Amino acid sequence: MQVGTTDYSFVRRPRWIAGHLIAAIAVVIFVLAGLWQLSRLDERRATNATIGERTLGPAIDLPAAPQTDAEIGALEWQLVEIDAEWRTEDEVILRARSLRGVSGHDVLTPATVDGSEVVMVNRGWVPIDVEDPPVGLAEPASPTTEVRGVLRTTEERGSFGPVDPPDGRLARVARVDLERLDQQIEGDLYPMWVQLLEQTPGQPDYPRLRPLPSLDDGPHLSYAVQWFIFATVVVVGYPTLLVRTAQTAAPEGRRRRVEG
């Protein structure tokens, strides 16, 4: 096939057909990746709105234990106030949790609330070299503390990641799996845990309190733009490559015809 002074017959060669397929697949992948980042942005904004609504309002007393997933979801990030009677003998280390880029662990300490309810509280971060619990470095300043924090849902293992032993008493865990922790704590464990934000009396040094998540958009929009730019580069660049190759091939084709 010839158009003017260009020769596009090369586009039917096997290696160029492979190139067409690779370019098309790349565009599809880049566009899908960009759309995925936009969906992540929407999810983050929705989560930010929920966190803002439930943490900026007044704190409430610990609600009655939620029974369904819908009830649990409706309480996540809810700001609560409890009088915590610490049970350091049942303390557990939540391993491999960094704070501001520094490796360490978190301290999970169950607390008795209102004389009966047992709630797991993430009291904050300690250095990575702490010994097994109870963590002396993070000993509560008082046996009973006024706690202000947010309710969080139990953590589940994804497709990858460490697995906690199903049996026995654990001193260190990979996630806040309330069903697993309930096996080694006397009494029924509340079906959500508390991320501690403030306490009275305060803690001298450790554990260091974790802040609430930043309520910004994160990197998702910039990542989406990058993926769409990559797709545009292929959409514009590959046809340009074909045109330039055709223009180069045309004089060679004419020379072969003249020599023949």
DSSP classification of residue 137: G
Q: SS3 of 125, please?
A: strand
Domain shared by 18 and 145, yes or no: no
Q: Is residue 180 part of a domain?
A: yes
pLDDT range class, residue 22, cuts 50, 70, 90: very high
Q: Which CATH number is 103's domain given? A: 2.40.50
Higher pLDDT, 196 or 250: 196
Q: Is residue 123 part of a domain?
A: yes
Domain shared by 9 and 114, yes or no: no
Residue whose structure tokens are 């190139």: 19
Q: What is the pTM of this model?
A: 0.80
Q: At residue 133, what is the residue type?
A: P
Domain shared by 118 and 39, yes or no: no
pLDDT range class, residue 1, cuts 50, 70, 90: very low
Lowest mean pLDDT among 1-15, 24-38, 42-56: 1-15
Domain shared by 152 and 225, yes or no: no
Across the range 26-52, mean pLDDT stands at: 96
Q: Is residue 100 part of a domain?
A: yes
Residue whose structure tokens are 């990030």: 77
pLDDT range class, residue 139, cuts 50, 70, 90: very high
DSSP classification of residue 88: G
What ranges make up the beta strands (E) of the chain?
2-3, 6-7, 60-61, 79-86, 92-94, 104-113, 117-127, 144-152, 172-173, 193-200
235: containing domain: 2-43+219-259
109 strand-pairing partners: 121
Domain shared by 97 and 190, yes or no: yes
Across the range 142-157, mean pLDDT stands at: 93
Q: Is residue 172 part of a domain?
A: yes
Domain shared by 77 and 105, yes or no: yes
The pLDDT of residue 258 is: 45
User: How many domains does the structure of the chain reveal?
Assistant: 2
Would you say residue 26 has pLDDT above 90? yes
DSSP secondary structure string, 36-74? Answer: HHHHHHHHHHHHHHHHHHHHSS--EEPPPPP-SHHHHHH
pLDDT range class, residue 31, cuts 50, 70, 90: very high
pLDDT tens per residue, range 203-257: 888 999 999 988 999 999 999 999 999 999 999 999 999 988 888 865 555 555 5
Q: Is residue 52 part of a domain?
A: no
The pLDDT of residue 246 is: 85
Distance (Å, whole) CA 69 – CA 175: 19
Across the range 19-30, mean pLDDT stands at: 96
Would you say residue 23 has pLDDT above 50? yes
Domain shared by 190 and 160, yes or no: yes
179-111-72-45 Cα dihedral, nearest 10 degrees: -110
